[in-house]
Amino acid sequence: MQRTKRLFSKGIILNPKMVTQSQFSQIQFQAVLNNFGMLYNVMKAANFVDNAIVQLSNDGMKVIVEDAKSIQASAYITRACFSEFKLAIARPSSVADAPNNPDATLPFVSFGLNLKVFTDCLSMFTSGDYDSSLKLIQKGTGAPLIVILEQHGEDDLITECSVRTMDPFDCMELDFEDEQQIVSKLNVKGMEFFQLLSEMDRNCDEIEVIISPDAPHLIFHSFGELHSETSVEITNTSDMLITFNCTDASRNRYKFHHFRLAMRTLALASKVALRTNSEGLLGLQVMIENSDSSHIFVEYFILPLMSDGDQTTM
């Protein structure tokens, strides 16, 4: 009860008497997650900015955050992660009338959400040994996201939070859909990749990533204060690499701060897919295994720093 009072005073819970499910007779979205510990860890790792875009589709839930138009992270909680997932949304006529149209896209619901507030709600039942579940409900456009946390045990505690939503904001459109622009694709073991970055100089300002068809195939070179430098070279026979494909050599610099942000989820990863294109855009797709064998994916897009020759831009 004291925790509930604190959340109400912070504005997380809008109604001190809680929000009952009976108030939402026409529900647009409803989902249940029996084990939400990994979701909490991923949301906490992605919470390097307060506000996020949430997209709900028949494939699951996508949460997008970005900072200073230089890094973007998208967390994909696939439908298989949920024990129950219902989304009622009318399909656009262009999709309904042309089911075989390869250019047709599935519809989705989109809204803005304060990720810090949402993560604070999830944190209530993430510590301890007890079993707990999460239910998410939204009535429709402009309605709050109802977060229902249920602790299963002797007490069977239920806590309901109403988190304000907002209009979705614009974010960068970044992808690797143009295969001809991709110059390198690597799959690496998650823990080994995390350890490699952890051993780099944590105080460095920039990191240079060199990928080449010729040995050494992969080089991470960090640049820090007082001209300190560290370098790690990896060949395509390394145990860390699962697959290696590089068509053209590339050399790009990035802010190491952006790698540190990605390391929050790399610590949870079982596998990481690394891609670069001809413009220096770096993509890290992190695969995280749930306890029920389902998967959560987090994809980072990191824009390169501007080079002296203006070959890349931020």
Strands (E), 79-144: 84-87, 109-114, 131-138
By three-state DSSP, how is residue 283 classified? strand
Q: Above 80 in pLDDT, residue 226?
A: no
Q: Which of 7-21, 145-159, 262-276, 284-298 has the highest mean pLDDT?
A: 262-276
pLDDT tens-digit readout, 123-168: 887 765 567 899 999 998 899 999 999 887 767 788 899 999 999 9
- CATH 3.70.10.10 boundaries in the chain: 25-166, 179-302
Domain spanning 179-302: CATH 3.70.10.10 = yes
Opening angle at CA 18, ends 13 and 20, nearest 5: 130
Average pLDDT over residues 82-108: 66
Query: Rounded distance, CA 108 to CA 55, Å?
Result: 6
Query: Rounded distance, CA 23 to CA 282, Å?
Result: 45
For the ranges 6-10, 32-36, 226-230, the lowest mean pLDDT is seen at 6-10
Residue 186 CB burial class (10 angstroms; 0-12, 13-18, ≥19): buried
CB atoms within 10 A of CB 187: 16
Domain boundaries 25-166, corresponding CATH code: 3.70.10.10
